Amino acid sequence: MPPKILVVDDEPNILSTLAPLLRTRGYEVSTAMNGRSAIEAVEHEKPDLIVLDLGLPDIDGVDVCRAIRETMSVPILILSARGAETDKVRALDVGADDYVTKPFGAEELLARVRAALRRADAPPPASEPIVRAGLVIDRERFRVVRDGDEVRLTPKEFELLVFLAQHPGRVLTHRTILKAIWGANAVDQPEHLRVLIGALRKKIEPIPSTPKYILTEPWVGYRFADD
């Protein structure tokens, strides 16, 4: 399961920027718009990380931070418009883990989120499985499921399938695939590719002789069906 992040801010436009951004990076995001509901949400949802704006309408952000710290050891990343040194010192000393001043770069914030989660020992956000017409490719579990049945693939087969499925509809040349799977030294050995394609089709195609997923583009390469 992906890490849960609680974002606390009273400005709607920050919330509506930050929450979707974090979601697209694979995190599960919940939000709060004031101190009281933030503290409640922490108790209730047990997030893996908290992004907390200091300028809240009801309670001072520093007090929110302190209140959370008294009950949980979840990492807290402070967001603030005030860049004065005393503000930073105060927040960090009551238990905040990091302090970022607005305006901030999105990638920097994400990197600091990753750093904080890494320290707290949370697993990196899950990479979503690839789903294509009855075929589920789970990179995290090295698993492929076709119409409910699990298919066992070897590492090379799996690597090839992922590479093809990542570019559905697009024709990938022999050269491109060989370079991706076997490295640049193998670009002139297409027999490797033919054999591996055969093995893969045998396992994932309902009728290997008339492929449904992995289509041959004669004289050029192969193509993953995009239906």
Partner DNA sequence: GAAAGGCGTAAAGAGTCCATAAAGAGAGTG
Partner DNA sequence: CACTCTCTTTATGGACTCTTTACGCCTTTC
Q: Which residues of the shown chain bind DNA in the complex (CB under 7 A)?
A: 152, 154-157, 174, 182, 189-192, 194-198, 201-202, 208-209, 216, 218-221
- By beta-carbon proximity to a second copy, the closer residue of 84 and 206 is 84
Strand pairing partners for 221? 173, 217
Among the listed residues 59, 31, 34, the one whose alpha carbon sits nearest the alpha carbon of residue 45: 31
Q: What angle do CA 213, 219, 224 make, to 5 degrees?
A: 15
Tokens of 45: 């949802």
- The single residue listed with the structure tokens 């609680």 is 6
- By beta-carbon proximity to a second copy, the closer residue of 115 and 187 is 115
- By beta-carbon proximity to DNA, the closer residue of 24 and 209 is 209
- By beta-carbon proximity to DNA, the closer residue of 36 and 146 is 146
Contacts of 34 (CB under 8 A, 6+ apart): 10, 56, 57, 58, 59
Residue 75 · residue 51 · CB < 8 Å: no
- By beta-carbon proximity to DNA, the closer residue of 16 and 189 is 189
Distance CA 36, CA 193 (A): 60
Residues forming the site for a second copy (CB under 8 A): 72-73, 85-86, 88-89, 92-93, 95-98, 105, 107-108, 110-112, 114-115, 118-123, 125-126, 140-142, 154-155, 166-167, 169-171, 217-220, 223
Q: Which does 142 bind (CB under 5 to 8 A by kind): DNA, a second copy, none?
A: a second copy
Q: Which does 98 bind (CB under 5 to 8 A by kind): DNA, a second copy, none?
A: a second copy
What is the sign, positive or negative, of the torsion defined by CA atoms of 187, 192, 195, 200?
A: negative
Q: Which does 126 bind (CB under 5 to 8 A by kind): a second copy, DNA, none?
A: a second copy
